[in-house]
Amino acid sequence: MFRTLKYDIQAVMERDPACRNVLEAVLLYPGFHALIMHRIAHFFWQRKLRFLARWLSFTARFLTNIDIHPAARIGRGFFIDHGQGVVIGETAEVGEHVTMYQGATLGGTGKERGKRHPTIGDHVVISAGAKVLGSFTVGHHARIGAGAVVLKEVPPHSTVVGVPGRVVRENGHKVTERTELDHANLPDPVEAAFRKIVARVNALEQQVRELQQERNALGETQLAEERR
């Protein structure tokens, strides 16, 4: 567990430019604190000390506002940026070197038992406010855009945005070279749709103007013939 915590500290320092040293990473990051307490709670959960594990999870939520069920499996190098409102459900599985931003949720879609939360691959980025709901897999190096609601499987090396979430980019960029999500350059399918509508309206207006010009020209020709 201590070897895993070393990777967790490195994740904070590598992925948050505001972190200046190890002391800040250990003392001033609630995501790291929640992760430490989760790993301890998970240790007790695996040894059937369920009440103690749940109590530690509750305490972590009270202190950090990050809710991670003690049964959830989380790989090394996990980084929760800011962390406010992050929720990770009981049967969720998180791979290595995953990044989650504030308000993100790994949840279920009902009250069924068994595997009901998502499995997150390695090097995945889940942006602020994103909701990944259901028992399916998010492939390695995938990126979930801010506010997206993902309800079905996500292929590796893809970008998902929107409500409901839809793949808008796949193997388009070398995301293996970095794990941060380039928020400013995410494609916006709603904006693209509006652009198409505006272009169509402009084309129709142009056609109307041409018809009006033809009609005016025809009217002037008829008036001239009548005067003759």
Express each pLDDT in 142-163 by its tens digit: 999 999 999 989 999 999 988 8
Band of residue 74 on the pLDDT scale cut at 50, 70, 90:
very high
* Residue 46: CA count within 13 A, CB half-sphere: 8
Q: Which two tokens stand for residue 173?
A: 């960029």
Using DSSP, state whether 131 is helix, strand or coil: strand
Dihedral Cα 179, 183, 188, 190, nearest 10 deg: 120
pLDDT at 203 over 60: yes
Contacts of 144 (CB under 8 A, 6+ apart): 104, 124, 125, 126, 127, 130, 132, 138, 150, 154, 160, 165
Q: What is the mean pLDDT of residues 62-90?
A: 93
User: Residue ranges of the domains in the chain?
Assistant: 2-187, 188-228
Q: Is domain 2-187 classified as CATH 3.40.640.10?
A: no
Q: Is the pTM of this model over 0.75?
A: no
pLDDT at 30 over 60: yes
